[in-house]
Structure 1
Amino acid sequence: MGSLLRSKEMKLVRLYLQPEAAYPTIKILGEAGLIQFVDLNSHINSFQRPKVQEIKQCTEIERKLAFIEKQIVEEEEPFAKEIISSDEIESINKMEMENLDSEIERYHEDLKNMIVGLNEIYSQFIDLVELKHTITKSDIFFAQGDFEEDFHHNDHEKDTLLDNQHHARIFGDLGHIVGIINSTEVFTLERILWRVSRGNLLFKQEEIDEPIMDLKLKKKTPKTAFMVLFEGDVIGEKLTKYCQTFGAKLFEISESPRERYTLFEKTQEQIRETRLVLNKSKRRQLELLMETEKRLSHWKNKVKQEKAINHIINMLNFDTTKQCLIAEAWSPSNKINQVKIELKKASEDSGVIVPTVLEIINDEKKEKPTFFETNKFTTGFHGLVESYGTANYGEISPTPFSIITFPFLFAVMFGDLGHGSLLFLTAMIFILKEKKFGKQKLGELVEVLYNGRYILLLMGLFSMYTGLLYNETFSLPIDFFGSCWSPDKNDSNYHLVSHNCAYPFGVDPVWQNRKNELLYVNSLKMKLSVIIGVSHMTLGIVLNLLNAVHFKRYVDVWCGFLPQIIFFFSFFGYMVFLVILKWNIRWSNRSIQTQRHGVLLINTLIRFVISPGSVEHDMKIYPNQGIIQLILLFLVVIAIPWMLCPKPFILKNKAKKKMLKEKKLQHENRSLIENQAEPNDLFDESKYQLKHHDSNSDLELDINIDNQKVNEFPIANQKDEKKDETSHEEQFQMSEVFVEQAITTIEFVLGSISNTASYLRLWALSLAHSQLSKVFWQKLVLFPLTTYSWMVFIGFAIWVFITISVLMIMETFSALLHALRLHWVEFQNKFYKGEGIKFQPFSFEELTKEQTN
């Protein structure tokens, strides 16, 4: 838990590498996954960096692999997936990119050529099938009786085609077009041809008995064979073009039955031969896909790693001598020794004379990334927190607290021993078989449940606990300890067994189905919700104090935490105090009127604000209540300006002192430089005497240079002083600080009220869950049980279905989302900024996970 409270300490390290050792060093660091590299060339365009061509090559290989993977995924016929040997995996990992590219290119081209060839053969096969069906239907078209009937029944618009000539002249004078087309296009084609020919045609159609594959649509579609009779070659050419425009396939089919039979037999033979060739080609393609499939994931890993290494090399920079490469990276301080070991190993493997040097840089100006070490239990809870935002470096993380509070708040809304047990058992199944589930590719919903299995486990456990508190098991109470209430003789009323009797744990089962049950349970759950909410928010305020102390922001302690906790406790803490106190008062000792009407806390709190210090005698809960409430109200009023006003003035004063201190330091530095000028001049004068005999020009040059240096210092310092004054004015703006503090104060004051009210959702959802469960049980199980015995089985089956679908699925997600909101908004806004930078180490393992996902 300690490692989750604050992020790991991070160090900025600088690596000095020999250029020939860069690749193996980065590769080994990628395998270790210990450091996050900093881009030292962020000012350089990505296309101007040294490893552009290598990255382009990797991108091109990825494109080829994506094509191969697409063919494997789209393959309809299942094939056995083989596992590649460890030696072959090692061979792929050690392979140079040029050799890997050549190997993948070979597979890619082979597969591409196979697909092209297969598509051509398949297209020929479809054409032959369509021809066969068209020949079969053409026998109907060329039947003599049909033509006679059609020609003699033409309407007057079609009389222009024939003038009742003998059938013997029909085939001699008329041309014909035979083809096949999608059934959806037949009607449109007929109307178009009719208009083009001005009615000088006869259109016959017959639908094919079975759908045929359409290569353009990539699915089987119904087809229709047709024949067009026309007169004249010119109109025939025009009709042919229109048929082809509509996507119809046209065939040369003779009107002679003998020739049609010969063509049919020939087509049948070609179909058999083409089918054999097609099957052989398909088997070859499957073999190639099987061969590539077992290597595909390893190829992808290799290419992704190479691409990532080249990206990292592009982040490196040369030193001034251009002799070595410089890299900067973030690393957890407890991992630096391990990084040194990996660097030593990389230097030995690369065989360089000068090993890689690691230097720790103390640069506090750079924003450090945030890193938390998690395990399989805490990862899910940490993920919920990071969905809101990554913690600032050194900031307290809500994760260790959310491990308990998140499932507990969920359980307050979901509390039922039976439902909690089902949730617990579901989580246990995922936990006990986590190795099996971890190796499988899960569906989206199942994967979410698997990743959150430990969250579900605690949600189930806490739901069982709150179910015991509420004494609800599938909405039914269980009398564990014996009720403290005993019925009267007529069973109309109940009386206490003894005045000191109290049910040891949870709600007394006697409240079940009583007239005032809802009134009692509502009051109990509402007050519990307020107590839990105030406690939860108090924890957030205390964590804000710990953050302020950790970052040494003591002004936030005196002008933030103190007024906030005083304001919060003076009103909301007092409200919780009244609730608990009222529960512990024996009202039988009070006046008759007080016993009858009780003390309404809402009236007490209203009078606390509008009538300071005055408490009616019957409304008094404890002695000196009026004075204490007056003091608390005074603290509430004082706390608001305390939060608002002092902090901006304190910050302004600190900024002013800092500026004066820097001015004083600059003045001292300038005086020191001026005082050092005289000895330099004397020394230069002696130089002048020595050099006088050599060259007058040298003398003048030395004096001018030194005087220029001396005179430049004050001018530069004056400029720096003015610049610093301007920068301080820019850095601290009183109005901006005051507005920000006003927003913070208003947000806290109003947020305290709204957030406390928001915790009432615990009561509302708990009540809804309990009432739904009770209604389902009474209407679906109890009602059939008291009326129709045979309906019990149907009612029970429906009850099981609704319990799982509504209460176990819908209600679970509803309560989970509300618990998440209470943490993100009501709890975390008290102390958690969540504006940090997540530590993302260069890791091949993470790359593989991303690829798998």
Structure 2
Amino acid sequence: MGSLFRSEEMTLCQLFLQSEAAYACVSELGELGLVQFRDLNPDVNAFQRKFVNEVRRCDEMERKLRYLEKEIKKDGIPMLDTGENPEAPQPREMIDLEATFEKLENELREVNLNAEALKRNFLELTELKHILRKTQVFFDEREHAGLNPTESMTRALISDDNIARQSALGPVQLGFVAGVILRERIPAFERMLWRACRGNVFLRQAEIETPLEDPSTGDQVYKSVFIIFFQGDQLKTRVKKICEGFRATLYPCPEAPSDRREMAMGVMTRIEDLNTVLGQTQDHRHRVLVAAAKNIKNWFIKVRKIKAIYHTLNLFNLDVTQKCLIAECWVPVLDIETIQLALRRGTERSGSSVPPILNRMETFEDPPTYNRTNKFTKGFQALIDAYGVASYREMNPAPYTIITFPFLFAIMFGDSGHGLIMFLFGGWMVLKEKPLAAKKTDNEIWNIFFGGRYIIFLMGLFSIYTGFIYNDIFSKSLNIFGSYWTVNYNASTVQSNKALILNPKYNDFAHYPYPIGMDPVWQLAENKIIFLNSYKMKISIIFGVIHMLFGVIVGLWNHLYFKRKDSIICEFIPQIFFLVFLFLYMVLLMFIKWIKYAADNEVFAETQACAPSVLITFINMVLFKPPNKVDNCYPWMYAGQDGFQRLLVVLALLCVPWMLLAKPLLMIHNKKKLVQGIVHENGDVEGGVGALQNTGAVAQGAHKEEEEDMSEVFIHQGIHTIEYVLGSVSHTASYLRLWALSLAHAQLSEVLWNMVMRNGLVREGWFGGIFLWAIFAFWAVLTVGILVLMEGLSAFLHTLRLHWVEFQSKFYAGQGYSFQPFSFEIILDAAQSGTEE
């Protein structure tokens, strides 16, 4: 848990592994997930590394598994997930896995090809069946009408004069073609036939009621049967080309009814035989996929682990003898023994007799930042890392954020009703944590909510508390302790006057305060907003100043840990003085005002009428301006206030040049002492003038570079000083968002109640109950959608800004990079989420 306050101490290690044991050792380290390997071959192409062939084999196995998975999902077969985590197979087992996947893929592809051919044959026979049925119906209609079909077609296509001329020459011979076409192409098909054949063809079409399955895609398509009559070979060729262009399928259709019936019977027999064969093919395919579905999850895990191991081995270097692999890795110091035990297990598994060697190395590189987290602290750490990963061994804001984040959120979201909704939602996710985590989904919004379940839970809990303090629940108040205000007016006066003033001097507040929170009578008061504005504005400033002071103090712990005494003297002390002398003093004035001035004080100068404005007092203090005098009122809150305030402002202003100049001047002084010490040491040792001259030449050569370095230090310190001084003012004002959003939330909640929910309470009887039910549903949807979700998101973002900017800027650099260990768990989770997407 200590690493939560400050990142783990890391060390760079060199690892020597025998070639035979390297695979097993890396496998054990992947299960452990505590080692971050460095790439020792950055200039070597990925295709030129030692284990590139093994990686390719793993890619091929993964491709085959993805094909199997796609076919399993297509058939809707559930894939068994036992939650097992099998170990990475030995390299020799890769051959067996490859053979298994090859056999399954080939068998499945062969079955699919056969099934597709059978389905295509079945489709053709089905279409031919519909053609024979529809054309038979068409010819039967013509015969019942007393017309020969050929004669009727002739009359439809040829005029009476042409018929007389043709009958003199001989009988007219008409041809026809029949086929099937997609239903949506019929209108365009008909127009094209009419235009291309100039109206010399006759088209008759009928819809196929049942959809047909496309064997290539498996989609259901709707088609229509058509028959086209024409005269002559030229028109026949033209019609067939048009059919080909519209991708219509033509089928043979006999002219004689007896031939059509005989063909139909043969088609039905073949369809029945095909149905039997198709059923057997589907059964075989289903059996193959069911057998594969039982193991596919474990197969994926095994292949991905093998692939990850070989990817990691490609980062290693080979020694001169080609029998040893050398790696460099970052490891936590506390876990070195655990890592050595894992390496020993890997060596024993591989049967090697040469033990691995793990040596610590000295380096000037910045180690990665590693903060150990659990399921509770993980969400808060993610909030901090989203701004920037902490520098190595820098103070981590996450443990303090666990309390300050939900608390500052709750100040803005202070409603016990809305907080209860959020609390119950967060509590449900926490209680159902395991089953919800098992249902892995690619819904990004849900994943964000679930990842921050403990944050939502605490935000709701704290909001219930602040709502209790504000005495606000769905814009209404709870009358738990009764009102401490006394109404001294009679009934007629109260009824005849809309607005009356209650004198605080004559109510119970004069003797003792309300037990906790706000008096419920303020919910009815006309000046409720004025009173709550003053209260919420002041507590916003109070919590803001305390929050910033704590940030500066956390910065002191950084200086002490890194032994930066100069920073303590030149930065921390003037920063804390500047903040205390100005802004903490303003907070103290608020408490003095609350304590000193009361309505029942016997001295008039100490009543609420003479209470000075804290804001005006602070402005006059900074401007060295005397306060405005009021008759019978004392202008100061305590004796000697004027002189004390002037002293505080002068001391605060002196802190500005202290922050600006002290550190650069101290650095110049230290460098001069260092140069003098070197000169003195050289003079003693050499005992000659030549050594002094050489030292002077070196000093002169470095003089110009030192001037450039010092100018950068002055500029950097100036920017830092201006940022802190101006930031102290702007950051203090920024905490007023706590008051602003709290006021906006309360007012929006009240408006929603008055404009929606109140309308449902004015009707009586059974109709009133139904009306109230509908109004309540509408009010509940708006409450959850606007006040809980939208307002909650707004308050969350403002709280995030207060932590990232106002709090963390006082001590947090955030210039590190995160520790990314070689971990099978992380790799498998990333692969799983990538597959789902």
For structure 1, which segment, 239-248 or 484-493, has the greater mean C-alpha deviation from structure 2 after superposition? 484-493
1:282 aligns with 2:282: yes
Partner secondary structure for residue 176 of structure 2: strand
Q: CA deviation at 1:383?
A: 1.8
* 1:14-44 Cα shifts (integer Å, max 9, x gaps): 2222222211111122222222112222232
Secondary structure of the 2:240 match is: helix
Distance 2:777 2:223 in 1: 49
Trace 1:548-697 onto structure 2 (pairs within 5 A): 548-588=559-599, 589=601, 591=604, 595-596=608-609, 598-609=611-622, 611-618=623-630, 619-651=635-667
Q: What is the DSSP-based 3-state SS (H/G/I as helix, E as strand, rest coil) of the residue aligned with 2:510?
A: coil
Give the whole-Å Cα distance in 2 for the aligned partners of 1:161 and 1:34.
Answer: 98
Shift, 1:569, TM fit: 2.9
* 1:130 maps onto 2:120 in alignment: no
With over 3 angstroms needed to count, the CA separation of the structure-2 counterparts of 1:268 and 1:518, relative to structure 1, is: same
Structure 1 SS opposite 2:177? strand
The CA distance in 1 between the partners of 2:11 and 2:736, in whole Å, is 45
Query: Cα 1:217–1:498, aligned 2, differ >3 Å: closer, same or farther?
Result: closer
Q: Normalising by structure 2, report the TM-score.
A: 0.87
Structure 1 residues 558, 847: closer, same or farther in 2, change over 3 A? same
Instruction: For residue 203 of structure 2, give the secondary structure of its aligned residue in structure 1.
Output: strand
Aligned to 1:439: 438
The aligned amino acid for 1:605 is: F
- 1:343-399 deviations in whole A, cap 9, x for unaligned? 222233333333112212232x02211111222221221122222222111011111
Q: Which residue of 1 aligns with 2:371?
A: 372
Structure 2: 5+ residue stretches without partners: 495-499
Q: Could you say which residue in structure 2 is the equivalent of 1:705? A: none
Select the residue among 502, 507, 532 that pairs with 1:496: 507
Q: How big is each residue's C-alpha offset from its partner over 1:504-523, in whole Å with a ceiling of 9 and x where there is no partner?
A: 21111111121111111122
Residue of structure 2 equivalent to 1:762: 738
Higher mean C-alpha deviation, range 447-456 or range 819-828? 447-456
Instruction: Tell me how far apart the structure 2 counterparts of residues 32 and 505 of structure 1 sit (CA, whole Å).
Output: 52
Unaligned stretches of 5+ residues in structure 1: 676-713
Kept in 2, the 8 Å contact 1:487–1:493? The answer is: no
The offset of 1:178, in angstroms, is 1.6
| Residue equivalent to 1:354 | 354
Shift of residue 53 of structure 1?
0.8
Whether the 8 Å contact between 2:593 and 2:611 is mirrored in structure 1 is no
Q: CA deviation at 1:617?
A: 3.2
Report what 2:385 is aligned to.
Answer: 386
Q: Are the structure 2 counterparts of residues 92 and 266 from structure 1 closer, same or farther at C-alpha, using a change threshold of 3 Å?
A: farther
Distance verdict in 2 for CA 1:89–1:377, change over 3 Å: closer
Tell me: CA distance 1:85–1:450, structure 2 relative to 1, closer, same or farther (3 Å). Answer: closer
SS at match of 1:327: strand
Write the mapping of 1:368-517 to structure 2, written as runs, cut at 5 A. Answer: 368-441=367-440, 444=443, 445-488=445-488, 489-490=490-491, 491=494, 492-494=500-502, 495-497=506-508, 499-517=510-528
What is aligned with 2:497?
none
3-state DSSP of counterpart to 1:775:
helix
Residues in 2 aligned to 1:760 and 1:659: alpha-carbon distance in whole angstroms: 51
> Equivalents in 2 of 1:134, 1:101: separation in Å?
49
Q: Secondary structure at the match of 2:486?
A: strand
CA contact (8 A) 2:604 2:610 kept: no
Query: 1:55 and 1:775 mapped to 2: Cα distance?
Result: 64
Q: Provide the C-alpha distance between the structure 2 equivalents of 1:160 and 1:573, rounded to a whole number of angstroms.
A: 112
Whole-Å Cα distance in 2 between the matches of residues 664 and 227 of structure 1?
114
| Inter-CA distance 570–723: structure 2 relative to 1 (3 Å threshold) | closer
Q: 2:51, 2:314 within 8 Å by CA — same for their partners in 1?
A: yes
Letter in structure 1 aligned against 2:399: P
Secondary structure (helix, strand or coil) at the match of 2:483 reads: coil
Output aligned runs, 1:787-826, within 5 Å.
Answer: 787-789=763-765, 790=768, 791-826=771-806
**C-alpha distance in 2 between matches for 1:273 and 1:665:** 106
Q: Return the offset for 1:837.
A: 1.9
Counterpart of 2:619, as a letter, is I
After the TM superposition, which residues 192-271 of structure 1 pair with which residues of structure 2 at under 5 Å, given as runs? 192-215=192-215, 218-271=218-271
Task: Give the 5 Å matches for 1:67-106.
Answer: 67-75=67-75, 78-79=76-77, 81-82=79-80, 96-106=93-103
Output the CA distance in 1 between the equivalents of 2:167 and 2:366: 97
RMSD (Å) for aligned C-alpha atoms? 3.6
1:323/1:361 CA distance change after superposition, 3 Å: same
Q: Does 1:20 align with 2:20?
A: yes
Residues 213 and 220, structure 2, Cα contact 8 Å, conserved in 1: yes
Is the Cα contact below 8 Å between 2:80 and 2:295 reproduced in 1? Answer: no
Q: Is the 8 A contact 2:316 2:326 kept in 1?
A: yes
Q: Is 1:539 aligned to residue 536 of structure 2?
A: no
> Which segment is superposed worse, 790-799 or 309-318?
790-799
Alpha-carbon distance in structure 1 between the residues aligned to 2:41 and 2:474: 63
TM-score (norm 1): 0.85
Conserved? CA contact 1:19–1:325, under 8 Å: yes
2:178 corresponds to: 178
Q: 2:122 aligned with 1:110, yes or no?
A: no
Q: Distance between the aligned counterparts of 2:54 and 2:743, measured in 1?
A: 63
Residue 180 of structure 2 aligns to a residue whose secondary structure is strand
Equivalent residues of 1:381, 1:403 under 8 A apart:
yes
Stretch deviating more after TM superposition (57-66 or 641-650): 641-650
Cα distance in structure 2, aligned partners of 1:620 and 1:830: 33
The answer on whether the counterparts of 1:211 and 1:223 sit within 8 Å (CA) in structure 2 is yes
Quote how far apart the aligned CAs of 1:730 are: 9.3
Displacement of 1:807 in angstroms is 2.8
Q: Displacement of 1:322 after TM fit?
A: 4.5
Local SS of the residue matching 1:486:
coil
Secondary structure of 1:756's counterpart equals helix
The residue matched to 1:42 in structure 2 has which SS? coil
Cα-to-partner distance string for 1:563-604 (whole Å, 9 max, x where unaligned): 332333333323322222222222445657984475333333
- AA partner of residue 396 (structure 1): M
Report if aligned partners of 2:659, 2:721 keep a CA contact under 8 Å in 1. Answer: yes
Deviation at 1:788, TM superposition (A): 3.6
* Structure-2 separation of matches of 1:809 and 1:625: 48
* Deviation (angstroms), 1:460: 2.1
Deviation at 1:215, TM superposition (A): 4.8
State the distance in 2 between where 1:212 and 1:74 align: 19
SS of equivalent to 1:454: helix
Q: Is the 8 A contact 1:615 1:625 kept in 2?
A: no
Contact kept, 8 Å, 1:207 with 1:224, in 2: the verdict is: yes
Confirm whether residue 775 of structure 1 aligns to residue 748 of structure 2: no
Counterpart for residue 525 of structure 1: 536
What amino acid sits opposite 1:808 in the alignment? V
Q: 1:475 to 1:73 in 2, by over 3 A?
A: same
- Measured in 2, the distance between the counterparts of 1:778 and 1:219 equals 54
Q: Counterpart of 1:760 in structure 2: which amino acid?
A: L
* Amino acid in structure 2 at the alignment position of 1:601: V
C-alpha distance after superposition, 1:709-746 (max 9, x if no partner): xxxxx9xxx9xx98996799399634444433333333
Aligned residues: 800
Q: Which residue of 1 aligns with 2:826?
A: 846
Alpha-carbon distance, 1:304 to partner: 1.1
Equivalent-residue separation in structure 1 for 2:246 and 2:701 (angstroms): 81
